[in-house]
Amino acid sequence: MVGRAAGLLKEFRSGDGTLTAAALVRRTGLPKSTVHRMLRELVRVELLEQVGGTYRLGLLVFELGRRTPRGSGLHEAALAVNH
């Protein structure tokens, strides 16, 4: 399940600020019910945020990015979003 959730989160790397559940189903090839279940859980733990009918990265992703060592890529990405 962690691998599938990570795969779902990776779809947000393409520069899309928000994605629909349908887009995530198409991009990942996962069953619709699986994507919806994972989206609910990722929202619950604040890795994703639901905005209407779309999803975007949640605050926890950026908080974790701030805690990574400099030069790791994620840290720079989180700083760029916050500035």
* CATH number, position 49: 1.10.10.10
* Token pair 């500035």 in the structure block, residue: 83
Q: Using one digit for the tens of pLDDT, what is the confidence trace for 25-41?
A: 999 999 999 999 999 99
Number of domains in the chain: 1
pTM of the model: 0.73
Predicted confidence (pLDDT) at residue 60 exceeds the cutoff of 70: yes
Mean pLDDT, rounded, of the chain: 83
Phi, psi (deg, nearest 5) at residue 57:
-60, 140
Q: Crossing angle for the helix pair 2-10 and 21-28, nearest 10 degrees?
A: 110
Domain that holds residue 54: 2-82
pLDDT classification of 24: cutoffs 50, 70, 90: very high
**Given this model, what pLDDT does residue 5 score?**
86
